[in-house]
Amino acid sequence: MKYLLLLSFCFLFSQGKAQISDSSNEPDSIKKTVLATYYNKKFEGRRTTSGAKYRAKKFTAAHKTLPLGTKVTVTNPVNGKSVVVKVNDRGPFSKKLAIDLSESAAKQIGIYRKGIARVDLSYTVE
pTM of the model: 0.78
Tens of pLDDT, residue by residue over 27-70, are: 789 999 999 999 999 999 999 999 999 999 999 999 999 999 99
Neighbours of 119 (CB within 10 A): 26
Q: Rounded CA gap, 99 and 74, in Å?
A: 10
Is the residue at 62 inside a domain?
yes
Can you give the residue range of the structural domain that contains 68?
27-125
Q: With beta carbons less than 8 A apart as the criterion, state whether 74 and 119 touch.
A: yes
Give which of 64, 73, 52, 46 is closest to 100, Cα–Cα. 64
The alpha-helical segments, DSSP class H, found in 24-102 are: none
For residue 36, what is the domain's CATH number? 2.40.40.10
pLDDT in tens, 9-31: 444 444 444 444 444 566 789 99
